[in-house]
Structures are given as C-alpha cells and as structure tokens.
C-alpha cells in the first residue's frame, strides 16, 4: 500500500501508537524498553513514605539466620524450610545487587521478585510476578514501588502504563484494553474515576471523553487527540479537543434488549437521548466503514472501507442482544442469520441481532453484523473490549484493503450443517477445485468460527 503524507493530527496519533508499541516490549523477542533512547523512565525523585505498601515478603529478621555475613559482595543461594528460594548478591548479610526470590506458598499473591537491591531493599528496576501469572515491571525506592511502572497479563499483553508513588498509581495513567483501545486519565485513589477520563480508540485519534467510574464508562462525548505532553516518568499525556455531540453511555446487551442502561442513577432523563438512540453510530467505526449494496450476487448489504487500511486495523464492532438458548431453533437458518459467538460468555454464549434491528435504519450503533462471507477473506473476527458494549467481537483486517473495497470474513461454518448457499460457494471456490480439504482451509483462514451465521 502506498504511504501517504500524514496530517498533523495523524502524526500525533502515530506518535502515540509508536509509544504504546514500545511500551509492549518486554525483551521476550529480544527488544527491551531500554533499547529505545527516546524513552526516559526511572524512579520518582520525591521522598518515599517507608510505611507504604510493599511487595517485599522477607524481612531482615527472616533471613538473618541463613545469610553468611561478609563485608565483600558475595553470591549466595538460600533455601528456606518451606521451599522458598533466595539467590543473589549479599553484602554484610543484606541483599545488595541483583537478586531473585521464588516463593512456594504465595504471600500477598507474589510468587517471584527479580531486581536490584541496595542495603536489603529493592532499589531500581524490578519485576514482580503474581499467583495469577500477571506481572509488573517498575522502579522501586527502599522497597516501595515509586516510579515508572508497566503491568502485563498472564499472556504477556500490556495492561497498564503509569507512575507510582508510595505504592499507589498517581497522575495520568494508561489502561490498555483488549483489542487495542485504552483508558487514559488522572487516577483517583488508584482508579480511573471522575470527569475528563478518556477512552482512546485503536487509531489513537478518536476518543470518548467524559465521566468514568473505576474504569467503566458512565457518560462521554466524542473528541479527538489534539496534541501530546511528555509527562513525568516517561508517560505520554494526550490533550483532547473539546468534547461535542450526543452523549454515549455504557450499554450492555441482555437476552431481551440490544442495549441496556449501565450505571446511570444520577443521569437525568433529558441526558438519556443519546443512549436511547439506537442509530447513534460508533465514532470510530463511522471513520472506517460504510454500508452499501454488496458485490456478492444474491447478497443484500455489505461493509465497505471508506479509506485505505493496512493489516491489523480494527474496522467494525459486533454488538447485539444475548441470544436466549431456550429460543434456539437449529432447524432453520432464517432464525439464526445473525448469531455469533459471545466472547464474554465462552463457550455457551451467543450474540444476536434481533429481527427488528437488522435494518440499518433501526439499528446502526455497530455494523459488523453486515459483513459478508468469502473463502478469500481480507478480515477476521477477534475479541474487543468496547467502552460502551463490553467484550464483543470485532472485525480486524488481515490484508491491505483499498478505499471503496468490500470487507469479507470467513464464517467458518460446520460444512455439513451449513446453509445451501455456503456449501455451493465452497464447491465453487478455488480451494475446493484445487482439492484442498475444508478442514485445512479452516485451519488457515478462520481463527474464530461463527458457527451460526448467514449472508445478509
């Protein structure tokens, strides 16, 4: 795809995207955050309250009977009666230098600590691993987390970037959500709560700015990133334009409704207009796709990109009601056309688009349900944590798609139980004609089979 010259806003968004990408580097692929000379991080320069929360599990008293006291630095390996292992450098009976701690019976959910010690206390960069296999990397002073910090989930995915003081997050922090979005704002008592909190979409330009409570959207309006401030400890602070337009609210689908009110007890009836409007389009999705007559013979509507997009670009979201299992009718595809996996309730959950909502004039908050099938897909379904609709499927590209081209995914039906049109399409596909087995095609092209879907 030919690279075009970026606008000023796009350049700012690109800078944020590159920064987050660097934040994801852990060294597992050979690239560490330390490799980037433009990233200035470290411990906070303010004094530490030694009574603050600490991850340390061993006091000096716990180790005094096991350590050899020498005035020169020496490597020692200590195994306690319960199996806990401490290995590293010691001076005068105190940990001094790089040390590792392995804990058999987790204390404070901590199973391992690896980092630099000075006179018995963590000082400098260290990693703390937890019982749930999540972990953090941060800067410590006298045993207290006090500086730049990153957190990762059990799969090594970045979940948090920010600064800590006295064991608590402070200032503007980032919470990285599944699918590529981020919650950004000044934390209060360690939580993303209050006004002027933002959810930034994966383009690092489009945002919902407003009121959040413990990281959950209460009400917000659309805005765009206008500039960036380099905060303390290396944390990027996005500056937004004035929020405008209708309010967006947290709206999670249920068995009988495609959208329901979230935490809105204090929201007035007049301010619910945006929430009750099922044609209020997602601000990000409206910049990526549009609905037009499909190019597939016999199909109705389809999704088309409104700009050139590269691989790994999120295009559209699949919100809907949660299908009631008691109403499932496997004998007819007409009642199952829009059913798809519910990633918030794997493996039993199903998301559906009710009959009344299948026309875009009735419902267009999200439009991924209008995407058609191809055995040569240019996109696929993955999981996305949406600020309004929670954990739902989304469409992400797997190839370059040029402005005006239609978007396709591979549905991945069970071939024997699929509708007639799907079986005919497989027989006419280049893969079937070349003798490729359907199973092999599935393994190469469909990450998440839909199971229950049909062309629109």
Q: What is the 3-state secondary structure (H, E, C) of 328-361?
A: CCCCCHHHCCCCEECHHHCCCCEEECCHHHCCCC
How far apart, in whole angstroms, are the C-alpha atoms of residue 309 and residue 403?
A: 8
Question: Are 5 and 137 within one domain?
Answer: no
For 132-181, how does the pLDDT look when each residue is reduced to its tens digit (9 = 90+)?
A: 999 999 999 999 999 999 999 999 999 999 999 999 999 999 999 999 99
Residue identified by tokens 């383009």 is 203
| 3-class secondary-structure state, position 262 | coil
Mean pLDDT of 313-338: 76
Contact 185/198 with Cβ under 8 angstroms?
yes
Mean pLDDT score of the chain, rounded to an integer?
A: 89
Q: 204 and 121 share a domain?
A: no
Q: CB within 8 A of 151, min separation 6: which ones?
A: 134, 135, 136, 158, 159, 160
Give me the pLDDT at residue 272, please: 42
Q: Are 325 and 399 contained in the same domain?
A: yes
From 149, 177, 198, the end of a domain falls on: 149
Same domain (yes/no): 304, 437: yes
Mean pLDDT of the region 101-128: 92
Give the span between the Cα atoms of 408 and 165, in whole angstroms.
Answer: 48
Q: 112: closest CA among 135, 89, 144?
A: 135
Tell whether 301 and 371 lie within a shared domain: yes
pLDDT digits (tens, 9 = 90+) for 278-309: 899 999 999 999 999 999 988 889 999 999 99
What H or E segment, with its residue span, contains residue 63? helix 60-63
> Which pLDDT score is estimated for 275?
44
Q: Are 249 and 217 in contact (CB under 8 A)?
A: yes
**Gap between the Cα atoms of 179 and 395, Å rounded:** 10
Q: How many CA atoms lie within 13 A of 134 on its CB side?
A: 10
Range of the domain at 21: 1-28+167-248
Predicted confidence (pLDDT) at residue 262 exceeds the cutoff of 70: no
pLDDT band at 34 (very low <50, low <70, confident <90, very high): confident
* Entry pTM: 0.90
Q: CA 338 to CA 411: how far, in whole Å?
A: 11
CATH at residue 176 = 2.20.110.10
Q: Are residues 405 and 344 in the same domain?
A: yes
241 shares its domain with 365: no
Q: Which pLDDT value is given to residue 341?
A: 87
Q: What is the mean pLDDT of residues 265-272?
A: 40
Out of 149, 179, 205, a domain closes at 149
Distance CA 342, CA 94 (A): 53
257: in domain: no
- My answer on whether 140 and 177 are in the same domain is no
- Tens of pLDDT, residues 377-411: 999 999 999 999 999 999 999 999 999 999 999 99
Q: Which of 224, 248, 272 is the last residue of a domain?
A: 248
């Amino acid at each position: 795809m030919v690279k075009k010259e970026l606008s000023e806003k796009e350049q700012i968004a690109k800078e944020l995207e590159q920064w987050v990408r660097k934040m994801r580097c852990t060294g597992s692929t050979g690239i560490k955050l330390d490799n980037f000379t433009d990233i200035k991080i470290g411990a906070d320069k303010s004094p530490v309250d030694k009574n603050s929360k600490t991850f340390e599990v061993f006091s000096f008293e716990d180790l005094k009977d096991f350590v050899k006291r020498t005035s020169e630095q020496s490597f020692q390996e200590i195994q306690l009666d319960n199996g806990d292992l401490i290995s590293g450098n010691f001076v005068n009976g105190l940990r001094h230098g790089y040390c590792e701690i392995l804990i058999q019976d987790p204390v404070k959910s901590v199973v391992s600590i690896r980092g630099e010690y000075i006179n018995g206390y963590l000082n400098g960069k260290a990693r703390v691993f937890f019982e749930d296999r999540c972990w953090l990397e941060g800067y410590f002073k006298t045993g207290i987390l006090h500086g730049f910090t990153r957190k990762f989930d059990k799969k090594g995915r970045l979940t948090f970037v920010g600064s800590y003081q006295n064991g608590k997050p402070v200032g503007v922090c980032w919470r990285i959500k599944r699918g590529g979005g981020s919650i950004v704002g000044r934390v209060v008592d360690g939580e993303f709560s209050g006004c002027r909190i933002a959810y930034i979409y994966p383009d690092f330009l489009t945002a919902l700015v407003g009121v959040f409570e413990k990281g959950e959207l209460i009400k917000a309006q659309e805005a765009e990133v206008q500039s960036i401030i380099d905060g303390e400890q290396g944390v990027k602070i996005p500056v937004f334009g004035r929020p405008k337009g209708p309010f967006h609210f947290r709206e999670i689908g249920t068995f009988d409704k495609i959208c329901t009110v979230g935490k809105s007890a204090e929201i007035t009836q007049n301010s619910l207009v945006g929430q009750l409007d099922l044609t209020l389009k997602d601000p990000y999705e409206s910049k990526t796709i549009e609905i037009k007559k499909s190019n597939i013979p016999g199909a109705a509507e389809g999704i088309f990109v409104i700009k050139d997009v590269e691989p790994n670009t999120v295009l559209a979201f699949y919100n809907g009601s949660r299908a009631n299992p008691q109403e499932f009718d496997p004998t007819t595809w007409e009642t199952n056309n829009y059913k798809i996996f519910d990633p918030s309730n794997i493996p039993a959950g199903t998301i559906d688009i009710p009959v009344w909502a299948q026309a875009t004039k009735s419902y267009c908050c999200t439009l991924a349900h209008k995407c058609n099938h191809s055995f040569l897909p240019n996109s696929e379904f993955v999981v996305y944590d949406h600020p309004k609709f929670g954990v739902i499927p989304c469409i992400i590209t797997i190839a370059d798609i040029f402005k005006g081209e239609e978007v396709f995914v591979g549905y991945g039906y069970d071939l024997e139980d699929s509708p007639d049109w799907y079986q005919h399409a497989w027989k006419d596909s280049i893969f079937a004609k070349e003798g490729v087995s359907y199973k092999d095609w599935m393994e190469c092209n469909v990450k998440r089979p839909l199971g229950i879907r049909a062309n629109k």
